[in-house]
Amino acid sequence: MDYKKVYEEWSTNPFFSEATRAELLAIKDDDKEIKERFYADLEFGTAGLRGIIGAGTNRMNDYVVAKATQGLANYIIKRKKQSRGVAIAYDSRNFSPEFADVAACVLAANGIKAYIFESLRPTPELSFAVRHLKCIAGINVTASHNPPEYNGYKVYWEDGAQITPPHDVAIMKEVKSISVQDAKTMPKEEAIAAGLYEVIGKEVDDAYIAELKKLVIHQDCIDKYAKDIKIVYTPLHGTGNIPARRILSELGFENVYVVPEQELPDGNFPTVSYPNPEAAEAFELALALAKEKDADIVLATDPDADRLGVYVKDKEGEYHCLTGNMSGSLLADYEIGQTKATKGLPADGCLIKTIVTTNLVNEMAKHYGVELIEVLTGFKYIGQQILGFEQKKKGTYLFGFEESYGCLIGTHARDKDAIVATMALCEAAAYYKSLDMTLWDAMIQMYDKYGYHVDDIKTVTLKGIDGLEKIQSIMNTLKAHTPREIAGHEILWARNYSNDTATNMRTKVVLPTGLPNSNVVYYDMADGSWLCVRPSGTEPKVKFYYGVIGKSLEEAQKLSEEFGKAVLKMIDNML
């Protein structure tokens, strides 16, 4: 692509708005910025689009959104599914409502009805709405937990999960085959008059909340102990505020305190630089309020409310951060354990996790006698497993989660659901209170039962064109040269998911990984520790996930710290 030529086209062609052309003319003397914006099309990948907001082919804007939607429409029409419509939701980010409207009008111009939410809604509710309305697809305008300058566009298929093969590849092909000027559109008023633009809201909200309530196991414990539990919650300026508070209120939790500075939607996220519940700064205001109110639980959802961050208070009054691995394991143990205790587990019950998620749940699955299924990183692969259970009429979904603070209880949605996780965690707090335990006590009890697994992640951010090249260089180096050991932990198996090989480093036996090709390297250590390296699918980062096992929590934490230092040294050597 001749980026200068494309820049000239966008800067001068009246097809593009006056505001777009003015924005681009303002950078006419900045060749580096022009190149960043136009050296490629913003990739429509397996997770849809995600990028910095602005004018250009490599940015999130009306034209890129319209092109993506036209590609989706072309695919739907080729499959003769246009009569079923598409559900559209959006979050609190800048331009999210505008991008949602652009998508709706493109669909309408193609004769496909758009069901668009009246205001911002969480990702899991969009996933639910696709199936509830019997749509062929769904669009969610969100950049999840990315910094404020980003926005994104996720595509869902009729099962309510993000697109997976063969749909993802086919839709990507359609999007790549057209230009931004090929997208059809029509005025919103005409789309409404033609019955191709329908606003949705309360009816779907009520149905979604009703599904969550069906998943409660111990309403008796909530009725008895909810009044004694104090909860601090922050939606981090995002979509979780109304649904999270509604479900807790309707179940009977009275003492819910919302962080006032972060309660209202705001795409600039003024109180945090990075609206991610994985980041410590996201909890600064919430923890201050928690200490003021003497809260038992502190919860934060990301802007599209699919991820949940958690702090819990112990009996001494100290607050402990639960990583996604910790909170996911805690919820898995509660949901599966209490399902077994109250009605028994199905013979074909399954616990699903991604390959970068803690191995603690491997031991949990053995304890409960349920099947453990590992999938590639991305919750859509967990959704894909649920669809497979339905199609084969074999396999019962019990719980699924990934280390990045996302889980799903129930099958009402097919994506991470921080609203149902909020509900379940507060229910678990009431249940454990009936046993005179805190959630932290339950966490320690779980370590005692399944082993002291400590998991962590190191992340390297490498932006721009040069950054992409460095990320790929790191991956190529690791695939070509497997280390003998890391921090004294001998590597026993080296899995290269890009060529479906798992190599025993002692015997040189090579087996298939059993999973689809992916740009991922995974090392199993002889002592049960592990390391997995993969580029982020949504950010300019390469991620190093790892886990260790100790004879005590203190020992495991020390081993994890040493392992992390060795990983950072390895990264420095490669850069």
DSSP state of 301: E
Chain-centroid distance of CA 270 in Å reads 22
Structure tokens at 6: 């494309």
Sheet holding 308-313, edge to edge: 256-258, 231-234, 297-301, 308-313, 319-322
- Tell how strand 489-496 and strand 521-525 pair up: antiparallel
Catalytic member of 11, 127, 144, 327: 144
Beta strands 137-141 and 114-117, pairing class: unpaired
Angle at CA of residue 357, ends 562 and 472, nearest 5° = 75
List the structure tokens of 18: 């006056």
Indicate the pairing of strand 396-402 with strand 406-408. antiparallel
The sign of the CA dihedral 182, 183, 187, 192 is positive
**CA–CA gap between residue 23 and residue 10 (Å, rounded):** 10
- Of 446, 442, 447, 457, the closest CA to residue 556 belongs to 447
For the chain, the first-to-last Cα distance in angstroms comes to 28
Which residues in 192-325 belong to E strands, given as ranges? 197-200, 231-234, 256-258, 297-301, 308-313, 319-322
Measured CA to CA, the distance from residue 56 to residue 23 in angstroms comes to 10
Element (H, E) at 428: helix 418-434
Do β-strands 86-90 and 137-141 pair in parallel, antiparallel, or remain unpaired? parallel
C-alpha gyration radius of the chain: 24
Alpha-carbon distances of 173 from 72, 75, 99, 444, 540, rounded to whole Å: 10, 9, 22, 49, 23
Q: Judge whether 23 and 54 are in contact, CB under 8 Å.
A: yes
Looking up tokens 């839709």 gives 171
Task: Name beta bridge partners: 313.
Answer: 319
Q: From 433, 516, 500, 22, select the one nearest 230 (Cα to Cα).
A: 433
DSSP state of 163: P
144 is catalytic: yes
- Residues across the chain: 575
3-state secondary structure of 523: strand
Measure the CA–CA gap between 535 and 168, rounded to whole angstroms.
Answer: 19
CB 62 within 8 A of CB 99: yes
Tell me the backbone φ, ψ of residue 234, rounded to 5 degrees. Answer: -135, 130
Query: Alpha-carbon distance 344 to 375, whole Å?
Result: 26
| 456, β-bridge pairs | 546
Give the 3-state secondary structure of residue 150: strand
Q: Which residues are catalytically annotated?
A: 144
